[in-house]
Structure 1
Amino acid sequence: MSDQPSYPPPPEDVLEISAPEQFAALAHPLRQRLLFALSQRPATVSRLAEQLDAKKGNLAHHLKVLREAGLVHIAETRRVRGGTEQYYQRTARHMLVAEPRAAGTAAMLAAVAQELDRSAAEPHLTLRHLRLGPAKARELGEVLTHLVDGAEEDGEDQPVHGVLVALYQQAPPTRATGSAERHPPEETG
């Protein structure tokens, strides 16, 4: 039997990230890693410090930022050995960033890179570029979402694996300045 209390799921299934303080909170790799760590179950600062190999004071600061942004909350407070132990939990199972911002995306990718570097097993990392029309791109996105969301998990005693799925359209190449000088834009009158 585990000494970890059982908790209800996060209060929300999906939280849409839209407020400036939420974007600011997501713009730091350690806060991203905290959100990753809290995706399975609530945890104390001590447990998070051990899991993330970080200092408790530093984690407490970043948890405060996440709480103020509404991304985590205190799921339970317990008295232990004359002190108070707080279990932090994500406020939502899924966090949807409708309009990703470069700083948040960079922080998330940096957090994933840190996790890959610390992985106990050899990670699988693939980047492929495909030429797809809008309908096929939408279909691929739906299949990937279904695959990840529908993956059946093993028991609590098994290691946690991170899954990062990104489907994006590359920006078109920009014209070289020399080419723009040779072919000035047409004026409309």
Structure 2
Amino acid sequence: MPTDLLPDQPRDEQLEVTSAEQFKALGHAFRHRLLFALGQRPATISQLAASLGAAKGTVAHHLGVLRDAGMVRVVHTRPVRGGTEQYYQRAARRLIVSPGHPGATGAMFGAIAEEIAAAADEPLLLLRHLRLTATQAERLRAALLDLVENAEDAGADEPRHGMLVSLYRQGAGPPPDPAAAPSS
């Protein structure tokens, strides 16, 4: 990385995903992997291709889609051997995806599954269902949000860890079986 590139280029705190173009950009798991990779520091197409094990053309294509959607941006350029090298960074530290868009949600979970599968050690992955009152659910949501928001980054010399936190209310489920209802 060139010494004149600052790893902490100013970026927005959060970007709320609302446009059709943004949802389309999030509809591919590889683009999520790019967003994960660009969450820490700027990187070039070559650096991203090497770290993600992908072809440079694939990275360039998907970065273009993310750039057109306003989700990544070029934060630094430098001349190299008759061309220009561009460093990309995520446009915002946090992306807020509005609920109810199944394509984006499915792609996001696909990208997370790839990250977990490639983990260096055994990941902690738990799924638990609880019956909660609205007050209990809100308290749990606030506690989880506080935990994630206040987790401190130890710095570039330490290994990166991914964190996935979710609290959701399950749907009503399948309708009851009328044959199983007691007769009167």
Partner of 1:12: 12
> Are positions 1:66 and 2:69 aligned together?
no
Partner of 1:179: 178
Of all paired residues, the percent bearing the same amino acid is 49
Q: How does 1:50-61 map to 2 (within 5 A)?
A: 50-61=50-61
Partner of 2:83: 83
Displacement of 1:14 in angstroms is: 1.1
Stretches of structure 1 that go unaligned for 5 or more consecutive residues are 183-189
Displacement of 1:7 in angstroms is: 3.6
Instruction: Tell me the SS of whatever aligns to 1:63.
Output: helix
Partner of 1:131: 131
Q: How does 1:151-166 map to 2 (within 5 A)?
A: 151-166=151-166
1:172 alignment partner AA: A
CA distance, structure 1, for counterparts of residue 164 and residue 130 of structure 2 = 18
CA distance, structure 1, for counterparts of residue 7 and residue 157 of structure 2 = 17
CA distance, structure 1, for counterparts of residue 43 and residue 68 of structure 2 = 18
Contact 2:9 2:75 in 1 (8 A): no
C-alpha deviations, 1:72-113, integer Å up to 9, x for none?
Answer: 111111112332110011111111112341111111111011
Displacement of 1:10 in angstroms is: 4.3
Displacement of 1:124 in angstroms is: 1.0
1:141 alignment partner AA: R
How large is the RMSD of aligned CA atoms in angstroms? 1.8
CA distance, structure 1, for counterparts of residue 139 and residue 20 of structure 2 = 31
Stretches of structure 2 that go unaligned for 5 or more consecutive residues are none
Contact 1:45 1:60 in 2 (8 A): yes
Give me the TM-score of the superposition, normalised by structure 2.
0.91
Partner of 1:108: 108
Deviation >4 Å, runs of 4+: none
Q: Does 108-117 or 93-102 show the bigger shift?
A: 93-102
Contact 1:10 1:89 in 2 (8 A): no
> Are positions 1:43 and 2:43 aligned together?
yes
Partner of 1:27: 27
CA distance, structure 2, for counterparts of residue 158 and residue 100 of structure 1 = 36
Change (3 A) 1:147 1:53: same
Partner of 2:143: 143
Change (3 A) 1:117 1:171: same
Displacement of 1:145 in angstroms is: 1.1
1:60 alignment partner AA: A
Displacement of 1:122 in angstroms is: 1.5
Partner of 1:186: none
